[in-house]
Amino acid sequence: MLEIQQITKRYQRKAALDDVSLSLRTGEIFGLLGPNGAGKTTLIRVINRIIEPDQGTVRFKGDLLKQKHLIHIGYLPEERGLYKNMTVEAHAFFFGALRGMTKTDIKQALDYWLNRFEIQSWRKKRIDELSKGMAQKVQFICAVLHEPELLILDEPFSGFDPVNVELIKQELVEMKAKGKTILISTHNMRSVEEICDRVALIHQSKKIMEGRVSELQESARVGEYAVKFRGTMIGFVNALWTGFELIDKEILGDDRFIARVKMRGDNQFEDLLKVLIGAVKIEAAWEVLPSMQELFINAVSVKEDIGK
Amino acid sequence: MKNSWIIAMRELRERIGSRSFVVMALVGPLLVLSLTYLLFAMGENKQQSWKVLISDPRGIMENKIMPGVDKSINYSFASDYIEIADFASGKNYQDFDALVEVNEKIITNKVSFVFYREKPSLNMTINIRYQIERRLEEILAAKFTKLSANDFRKIKQPLQMSFKNAYDPTEQSSDLAGWVGLFFGTVIFVFIFLFGMTILRSVSREKSNRIVEILVATVHPRALMLGKIVGVGLSAFIQFFVWAVIISVGLYFMRETVFVNGYDPANLAQSTTSVAYNEFVELIFERIQFSSMVGYFLLFFAVGYLFYGAFFAALGAVTGSESDGQQFLLPLIALLLFALYSGYYVLNNPETQLAQVYHYLPFTAPVVVMVKLAVGYPEGEGYQLFISLLILLVSAFAVLSLAGKLYKNGILQFGHSVRLKQIFQWLKKN
């Protein structure tokens, strides 16, 4: 769907993007991660043809990305803005027309989304009559109104309450099911784990990691397991001896705990279960994979250490 | 182009829907009408009694003058050719207030000169012109046609009567008509400034509320800029149209009620005694060719607006904040004021080389052309107007192209201070 090849962009002497390549497949949700100032927004602007790269190309469905392709792209920028004195409906007609929609199509699409979000009463409201969160929703509608093949969302969850974050996530998953491709730039790692198929991490203008969420987590596994048990914590610790290391514990009740344990030496998960059986009553046990949050922090701090 | 039009229509709807637009559409023309009324009411209207000598060496007038109702002018005839210097200082002529030159060419070129000692009042001018022209019509009708004098008047060419100071015949005092031209030019620049500021504010607002990022993700920045300029420009045209309608109705109303037609023979008797008819009334109702003035006004306004509008749009795009923009606005305002001054300069010095430069310079052309148009281009030099328009049009496209570059590069720069060096770098980019 979208091929980003060796994009480099410099502002004055500082590189905003340094030889970044990415590939987005049709019908996937792709997470673009990175700390502030890493170059995510620059990359998104390059994809939207808002700025031109110094080097590199962007291909949309095999063709070099041109102005004509932009009507197939929906964009929700990080810094939101609407015309304060225009109504919700007027915004829909304005942005819909710019993306080549007919008035009938715009009306139908607007009806659909207003019903979907149960905000029919907002239709004639001016933006300055809406709260910030409400305006964000209107902007989301304006970005998806023309059913773009590629939807680019820069921090789509910021400014939304948890209920609306879930609502937006649900919509994105449904759009993905309809074959739409979605690129999300976000700091919300939980959302990344929940809805992204693949991610790329950009740091200091370079891409330092790319892959499926599950594969990245697998590749970063450190032999850490969680055991949910009934018994005493002393009994649990005594059973571990020197082959395992207790990292953390969570108290669920008077005699119920979840303990996180790391393997030492050549010990395996089976060995852990063997030593625990009899000492405590095991209710569940599973391997703990690093969260995207941890992967993100590790990757960024490692890169910074190397830089030093 | 389609997207530019969508942008323009949104801009137009926003402008027309604003309260300031409605207020300006009503208050502006009423203010102009009030000022016009004041000028009419306060216009000079002195009563004079004159002795006029008509120099008619060929005896064309046959020592007769059209009997008029105005007894304040006493005509005498001379069968000699009288030098202006003799009239000015000769003892024989000191009793006469004015000399009317009627030579043989008057029959073909319809041109006559009147040399005065003291500037005549408007009524005096009207009466001298009226009585000599009427007499001439009788002579021409009898000599060259079989028509009655009344029928001849329907098809005649008007007499061009130039009033000149006998002591300084070459004096070029600024013509009142020129002031009307300057007024039109000033209206152009006031509109350009007001609506240029609207463009500037609109661009700044879109930058500050970040909506521009969504717009440029769909519309090319140049198309966005053009749409904005066109949309605001259309609202300016609508504003002007409302002004034109209200002012026209107001002037018509004044003409029919307070300041009746002084040239109409039926009203002549009344007008000579009326205190209401003066040179401003004559100027507005008789001498200004409003149809052509308004046509050229719209042309020069449209192209001049594109020319200056591009500057305002580029300024809005390159500045990081509204306050930052103000320091760059000053040179632009200075340029607009300079253009107004150039109109005033040309009004007073129409024949100088500098006046020619101002006439063709795109910054000053809209106002200078209005002044020259109101005074009237000399015979055979009307083409200059079109050269000026062409230069302005080409310049407008050149400025739009450069402004497009600034717009494209500057529109997504937020919260920075503009440096001239950076502006030049952006201009070099594609």
Q: What is the pLDDT of residue B274?
A: 44
Residues 6+ apart with CB under 8 A from A43: A4, A7, A17, A20, A22, A32, A202
A60 close to B (CB below 8 A): no
Determine the residue among A10, A12, A47, A50 to mutate to test chain B binding: the one whose Cβ has the most chain B Cβ atoms within 10 Å: A50
pLDDT of residue B123: 66
Q: Which of B10, B211, B217 sits opposite A48 (nearest CB)?
A: B217
Q: Which residue has the higher pLDDT, A142 or A294?
A: A142
Q: Distance from first CA to last CA of chain A, Å, rounded? A: 38
Tens of pLDDT along A20-75? Answer: 899 999 999 999 888 888 888 889 988 888 888 889 999 988 888 888 888 889 99
- Closest of B374, B372, B423, B367 to residue B392, by C-alpha: B367
- Please give the structure tokens belonging to residue B383: 């083409």
Give Cβ neighbours of residue B126 (< 8 Å, ≥ 6 apart).
B262, B263, B271, B272, B282
pLDDT of residue B147: 73
Report residue B285's pLDDT band, with 50, 70 and 90 as the boundaries: low
d(CA A70, CA A131): 29
- CA dist., res. A190 & res. A291, Å (int): 8
- Is the model's pLDDT at A106 over the cut of 90? yes
Enumerate the residues of chain A whose CB falls inside 8 A of the CB of residue B216. Answer: 48, 50
Where exactly does CATH 3.40.190.10 map onto chain B?
50-156
Q: Which residues of A touch B3 (CB under 8 A)?
A: 98
- Model confidence pLDDT, tens digit, residues B11-44: 899 888 888 888 988 898 888 888 877 877 765 5
Whether the predicted pLDDT of B58 surpasses 60: yes
Number of Cβ within 10 Å of residue A43's Cβ equals: 29
Q: Nearest 5 degrees, angle CA B45-CA B48-CA B50? A: 145
pLDDT at B288: 62
B276 — pLDDT class (breaks 50, 70, 90): very low
Q: Which residue has the higher pLDDT, A193 or B268?
A: A193
Q: How do beta strands B73-78 and A206-212 pair? A: unpaired
Q: What's the pLDDT band for A202 if we cut at 50, 70, 90? A: confident
Hey, are the CB atoms on A142 and B214 less than 8 Å from each other? yes
pLDDT of amino acid B50: 83
A39-43, A227-231, B321-325: least confident range: B321-325
Q: Chain A contact for B216, CB < 8 A?
A: yes
- Closest residue, chain B, to A83 (C-alpha): B211
- Is the CB of B209 less than 8 angstroms away from the CB of A81? yes
The conformation of residue A179, written as its DSSP 8-state character, comes to T
CB A217 within 8 A of CB A201: no
Mean pLDDT of chain A: 86
Do the chains contact at B218 and A85, CB–CB below 8 Å? no
In this prediction the pTM is: 0.72
**Cβ(B371)–Cβ(B346) below 8 Å:** yes
Select from B6, B210, B214 the Cβ nearest to the Cβ of A97.
Answer: B6
Q: Which residues of chain A are within 8 Å of residue B214 when distances are taken between CB atoms?
A: 75, 77, 81, 95, 139, 142-143
Asked if pLDDT for residue A242 goes beyond 80, the answer is no
**Residue A126 in contact with partner chain B when CB distance is under 8 A:** no
ipTM: 0.77
Whether B16 contacts chain A with CB within 8 A = no
**A76: β partners:** A153
The CATH fold of domain A222-287: Alpha-Beta Plaits (3.30.70)
In 3D, which of A105, A160, A104 has the Cα closest to residue A135?
A160
A220 versus B190: the higher-pLDDT residue is: B190
CA distance B304 to B293: 15
Q: For residue B271, what pLDDT band results from cuts at 50, 70 and 90?
A: very low
B108-122 pLDDT, tens digit per residue, is: 777 788 888 877 766
Q: Does B317 touch chain A (CB under 8 A)?
A: no
User: What DSSP state is assigned to residue B117?
Assistant: S
Beta-carbon-side half-sphere exposure of residue B136 (alpha carbons within 13 Å): 27
So what's the pLDDT on residue A110?
A: 92
CATH code that applies to domain A2-211: 3.40.50.300
pLDDT cut 70: percent of chain B above it: 80
More confident residue, B146 or A65: A65
Determine the Cα–Cα distance for residues B213 and B403; give it in Å rounded to an integer: 18
| Side chain identity at residue A3, one-letter code | E
Least confident of A13-27, B53-67, B359-373: B53-67
Tell me which DSSP letter residue A202 carries. Answer: E
pLDDT greater at residue B282 or residue B119: B119
The amino acid at B183:
F
What is the chain A residue with the closest CA to B3?
A: A98
In this prediction, residue B391 carries a pLDDT of 92
Mean pLDDT of B59-65: 80
Grade residue B69 by pLDDT with cuts at 50, 70 and 90: low
CB contact under 8 A, A95 and B212: no
Instruction: Give the count of beta carbons closer than 10 Å to the beta carbon of residue B334.
Output: 10
Residues 6+ apart with CB under 8 A from B63: B56, B77
Q: For chain A, say whether B213 makes contact (Cβ under 8 Å).
A: yes
Q: Which residues from B are below 8 Å from A81, CB to CB?
A: 206, 209-214
What lies within 8 Å, CB to CB, of B394 at 6+ separation is none
Give the CA angle between residues B230, B235, B238 to the nearest 5°.
Answer: 125
pLDDT tops 80 at residue B71: no
pLDDT at B350 over 50: yes
Q: Mean per-residue pLDDT for B282-288?
A: 62
B193–chain A nearest CA distance, Å? 24
How confident is the model over A88-102, as pLDDT tens digits?
A: 999 999 999 998 899
Chain A nearest CA to B191, separation (Å): 24
Chosen from B205, B211, B421 to mutate, greatest number of chain A CBs within 10 A: B211
Please state the domain extents for chain A. Answer: 2-211, 222-287
Determine the pLDDT at residue A29.
92
End-to-end CA distance of chain B: 20
Of A71, A81, A143, the CB nearest to B211: A81
Name which residue leads in pLDDT, B293 or B311. Answer: B311
Output the pLDDT for position B269.
47
Identify whether the C-beta of residue B312 lies closer than 8 Å to the C-beta of residue B196: yes
Whether residues B218 and A71 touch (CB distance < 8 A) is answered with yes
Taking contacts as CB-CB distances below 8 angstroms, the residues of chain A near B210 are 77, 79-81
Is A98's CB within 8 Å of B3's CB? yes
Closest listed residue to residue B314, CA positions, set B331, B298, B292: B331
Determine the pLDDT at residue A152: 92
Give the DSSP per-residue string, A63-101: EEP-GGGGGGEEEE-SS----TTSBHHHHHHHHHHHTT-
Rounded CA-CA distance A174/B235 in Å is 44
Is the pLDDT score of B171 beyond 60? no
Question: Which whole number is the average pLDDT over A116-127?
Answer: 87
B322: contact with A, CB 8 A cutoff:
no
Of A116, A117, A128, give the one whose Cα is nearest residue A91: A128
Using a CB-CB cut-off of 8 Å, the residues of chain B touching A80 are: 210
Please enumerate in sequence order all residues whose Cβ is within 8 A of that of A149, keeping only pairs 6 or more positions apart, or say none.
A1, A61, A72, A73, A180, A181
Cβ atoms within 10 Å of A18's Cβ, excluding its own: 17
Residue numbers in B near A139 (CB within 8 A): 214
CB B234 within 8 A of CB B302: no
Q: CA-to-CA distance for B338 and B334, rounded, in angstroms?
A: 6
Lookup result for tokens 């009466």: B127
Class of the domain covering B50-156: alpha beta
A85 Cβ neighbours under 8 A, 6+ residues apart? A126, A127, A128, B14, B17
